[in-house]
Amino acid sequence: MADPRKISFIEDESAQPPDRDVFDPDPVDEEDLWFLPGPDHAVLQSHDPPGPRADQTPLVDVDAWIAAEAALARPLADLALRVGMLAARLQAGPAGWRHRLALIEAADLSWLAGDRVPAERLALWLALRLAGDTEDAQALARAGWAARRLQGGLAPQDDLAAFLGRQSDDARLADQIADWHEVMGQGAKLHPISRAALGFHLWPIVGLSTGHALGGAAPLPLMEAAVVAARFALQEGGTEDALFLPLALGGAGGLRGTGTPQERLRRWIAGADHATRAALRVLDGVRAWEMQVQAACADLTGRTPPQLIRLLRDWPLISAPMAEKQTGASRAAIQRNLNRMTQAGIIREITGQGRYRFWTASV
């Protein structure tokens, strides 16, 4: 019998060694071992492409714009009614009224875009292509582009690149326009006026504000976007007779691009409503002036007086050279009739100078 006090140092070969010693570190999960091969391709789902995934975040939350329109249904309906009144007024009046409103709107938009083209300089540019030595001819050309586009012709829905006057074979521009049309298509449920607001605020998001218009001129993010939106708003709303939605007449608080979709749409509706009211006041004043001047000039003979009356009705401001070009009358006849109409109080000279003078209707 073995002595139990004796300690045996012979290892039991049948005994299994422990899995880990007390000094071994904690086991690491195989998923955290960077040097192990990845999962077999067979276990990958077929719809998971290799590599990083592209950002699928939409450019604009169109649903938020739809909800904003629902919350602003009442002011939007009031604006639509007022725009309908403007369209009816323009349909019943002479074509020169549209020209007058477009010229005023384009001049106001040029100030917002930083060009600051006054209405009288824009009138001279459109009529005679005249620019002063210190004036930016490109700024006048941009304002002239806005005035022409607001008066009609090609619609932005037909060919946006041609509407903007840009090269249609520019691949980058084509992608930007495609993105713009894609989001505008998602907002097809919106009212045309709300949809136009979406298009205006979408302009810089798709990168259109970084392009160049009019043969290399400076970028026009605000003016281009506003003109496109102004025409877009009425081309699908059954109010084509108005041609464009006034946005800058009497101020342009609705064109600020900050805030939530509801805040932006609220400002847009309020700004367009203010501008449309201003347009209606302009037309009311011109109509009343024309009735007054017809009576006051009844004793004036010749073809020049009625031609000057129509010119003053259609243009916010005129000069003697401009009237000579537009009417075909002699400078002496024009100057003589302008002086008579000024003395009668139906027109007024606004510069107070002896040369380079401008006249406007006493509306």
Length of the chain, in residues: 363
pLDDT at 215: 39
Q: Which residue has the higher pLDDT, 173 or 215?
A: 173
Q: Are 187 and 62 in contact (CB under 8 A)?
A: yes
What's the pLDDT score for residue 210?
59
pLDDT band at 247 (very low <50, low <70, confident <90, very high): very high
Could you give the 3-state DSSP secondary structure of residue 128?
helix
Q: Is residue 55's pLDDT more than 90? A: no
Straight-line distance from the first to the last Cα atom of the chain, in angstroms, rounded to the nearest whole number: 135
pLDDT over threshold 50, residue 113: yes
Q: Which residue has the higher pLDDT, 183 or 36?
A: 183
- Confidence (pLDDT) at 52: 57
Instruction: State the span(s) of the chain assigned CATH 1.10.10.10.
Output: 297-361
| In the predicted structure, residue 25 carries a pLDDT above the cut 80 | no
Share of the chain above pLDDT 70, in %: 77
**What pLDDT shows up at residue 118?**
87
Domain 297-361 has CATH 1.10.10.10: yes
Please write the tens of the pLDDT for every residue from 68-86. 999 999 999 999 999 999 9
Average pLDDT (29-44) is 55
Instruction: Compute the half-sphere exposure of residue 295: CA atoms within 13 Å on the CB side of its CA.
Output: 5
Confidence (pLDDT) at 214: 39
Q: How far apart are CA 74 and CA 357, in angstroms?
A: 47
Residue 35 has pLDDT above 70, yes or no: no
More confident: 200 or 129:
200
Predicted local confidence at residue 220, as pLDDT: 54
pLDDT at 274: 96
With b meaning 16 or more CB within 10 Å and e meaning fewer, what string describes 210-236? ebebbeebeebebbbbbbbbbbbbbbb
Q: Note the pLDDT of residue 216.
A: 39
Q: Is pLDDT of 6 > 70?
A: no
